[in-house]
Amino acid sequence: MPLGSSIFRAVTSRRLRQIDYFVAHPWAVQQNTLQQLLAKASNTRYGRRHGFGQIKSPDDYRKRVPIVDYEDIKNDVALMYKGQHDILWPKSVNLYACSSGTTQSRSKYIPVSSEGLRRCHYRGLRDNLIIYTRNNPQTTFYKGKSLTLGGSENPDIVMPPGVFCGDLSAIMLREQPRWAEVFRTPSLPVALMHGWDEKVEAIAQEVIKQNITTLSGVPSWNMMLIKHILQCTGKRNLLELWPNIELFMHGGVHFGPYIDLFRELIPSPNMHYQESYNASEGFFAIQDDPNASDMLLMFDYGVYFEFIPMAQFNRSHPEQSPTLTLDEVQTGEQYAMLITTNSGLWRYLVGDTVAFTSVKPYRIKITGRTRQFINVFGEEVILENVEHAIQRACWHDAARVKDYTVAPIFMETQKSGAHQWLVEFEREPSDLKLFAATLDSYLCQFNSDYAAKRANNITMGPIDLRVMASGTFMEWMRQRNQLGGQHKVPRLSNTRQWAEQLLAIDAQLRSQQ
């Protein structure tokens, strides 16, 4: 056995024992994590403000420390990246992951401490491979390279000297040890390129002659890259180019709409797909059973978890919602997830909702967001975005909307994805194409992630605006027995179920006219 693989096997064996320990003792590990975090940050401004030094138990913690979202801490974060020390986390934090913002803040700047980067994000990345190796002991992925399609630096964000802000994946690539370059591709200058078209072309030219065994990243972006590589090489599928490819580690968006495309372009019975739950705020869970779609919560990354039952979630005032600790959750219930991290987020509302599929061990599925959203391509469009966009578009043309909903148009092998707006007008705009373009422009303005996915029509094409026949939404609600009361037309969906039902009703109504 080669020396490199011998070392990897030894590291894998040791790490698997650690994972088995927290699987067997989850609540004890979580309590210990909380006490370590509180002790570490007790002399920070936030720690003194909330009496971290006097907190002796998880119950003390939830009584003393408030639930927050980004709007509640953005002033503290601003102090941190402007150079002040000991605010949310000890000493200084010089790395910030740029993430999709809220209604008030177009972008969020999530602090990433050196400890959080090393113990949480990098450990999660390594554990992905370690868990894969346990499930596939005959793997030889380490004989080739991992093609990592990450984000980029953000030249539009001006930060003080010595402070870096960009996509989390760009931070991880930029800060990785030099020896990691032996195992991954493309080269760092190419990986961090900002322009998408130039970046994809440069990646293609670097990787077509390499032995790629694994892929990692967001499915939509990876699909775009795969299509470009096949176009450049004239190959029908990736096996003709990389016969040893065996693993795609993915996350960020729901994989369901993409699986058939990947199987078409990587037609191998030996190809594996493994999901992880990682975000700018932390790395949280990994799919440890290849025969199931849920993910194992990872408890030794320096992240402490709490959960708000969605049945009791106060959307207007989340801080007033009751919270549960890990030992109090149940399977089958939906929860909003709170995190406390080793990058200085304290009882932070991530915005995701999860359901536990098991508590021995603790496995979860991501079920949605605490607010309505659509996130098929990594665009993370929320209800406020679409409401403001359609309001502004109506102002431009004196149009009046009666009802609407938005659904995805999924990618096809030779076609980008898009958003389809099904709109029933009281007064139609004079120019439907201009109305759709105006909607698109405002969504780009209100949501930086949507703007990124719309760039150059690569991942997402223009809005597909469909005008619904008068009475379409009323008939749909009638068929669902949801007329009157507090029933509302849902505005956003990650599937096409509602859209197809509405389109069928629209066709029926038009045929009767």
421 inside domain: yes
Same-domain pairing of 282 and 393: no
Residue 157 identity: I
pLDDT value of residue 94: 95
Short-list 344, 362, 308, 369, CA closest to 62: 308
336 inside domain: no
pLDDT value of residue 102: 45
467 inside domain: yes
The pLDDT > 90 percentage for the chain reads 65
Q: Is the pLDDT of residue 408 over 50?
A: yes
Higher pLDDT, 113 or 177: 113
Please give the distance of CA 448 from its chain centroid, rounded to a whole number.
Answer: 14
483 inside domain: yes
As for how many domains the chain has, the answer is 2
**CATH number, domain containing residue 271:** 3.40.50
Domain boundary among 286, 313, 346: 286
Over residues 37-61, the mean pLDDT reads: 97
Short-list 381, 384, 335, CA closest to 356: 335
> Which structural domain range is residue 136 located in?
124-162+177-286
Strands (DSSP E) found in 58-194:
95-100, 107-111, 145-148, 164-166, 184-185
Same-domain pairing of 282 and 377: no
Cα–Cα dist 128/115, whole Å? 19
pLDDT value of residue 1: 38
Same-domain pairing of 393 and 271: no
Q: Is the pLDDT of residue 283 over 50?
A: yes
- Whole-model pTM: value is 0.79
Q: Is the peptide bond before 267 cis (omega within 30 degrees of 0)?
A: no
Same-domain pairing of 146 and 243: yes
Gyration radius (Cα) of the chain, Å: 24
pLDDT value of residue 318: 85
453 inside domain: yes
Q: Is the pLDDT of residue 243 over 90?
A: yes
Domain boundary among 245, 266, 286: 286
Residue-wise pLDDT for 360-386, tens only, equals: 999 999 887 777 778 899 888 877 788
Same-domain pairing of 241 and 383: no
189 inside domain: yes
Same-domain pairing of 275 and 378: no
235 inside domain: yes
Same-domain pairing of 276 and 385: no
The conformation of residue 219, written as its DSSP 8-state character, comes to H
Same-domain pairing of 134 and 281: yes
Same-domain pairing of 377 and 281: no
The conformation of residue 260, written as its DSSP 8-state character, comes to H
Assigned token pair, 240: 């003709």
Short-list 506, 261, 490, 485, CA closest to 383: 490
Residue-wise pLDDT for 415-436, tens only, equals: 889 999 999 998 899 999 999 9
Same-domain pairing of 387 and 496: yes
Cα–Cα dist 284/299, whole Å? 8
Over residues 254-268, the mean pLDDT reads: 85
Same-domain pairing of 148 and 282: yes
Cα–Cα dist 109/77, whole Å? 7
Q: Is the pLDDT of residue 486 over 60?
A: no
Residue 156 identity: D
227 inside domain: yes
257 — pLDDT class (breaks 50, 70, 90)? low
Distances 397 to 383, 390, 429, 446, 485 between C-alpha atoms, Å: 22, 11, 6, 20, 32
Same-domain pairing of 131 and 258: yes
Domain boundary among 233, 252, 286: 286
Over residues 91-102, the mean pLDDT reads: 81
Instruction: Specify the range with the lowest mean pLDDT, choosing from 120-124, 178-182, 333-337.
Output: 178-182
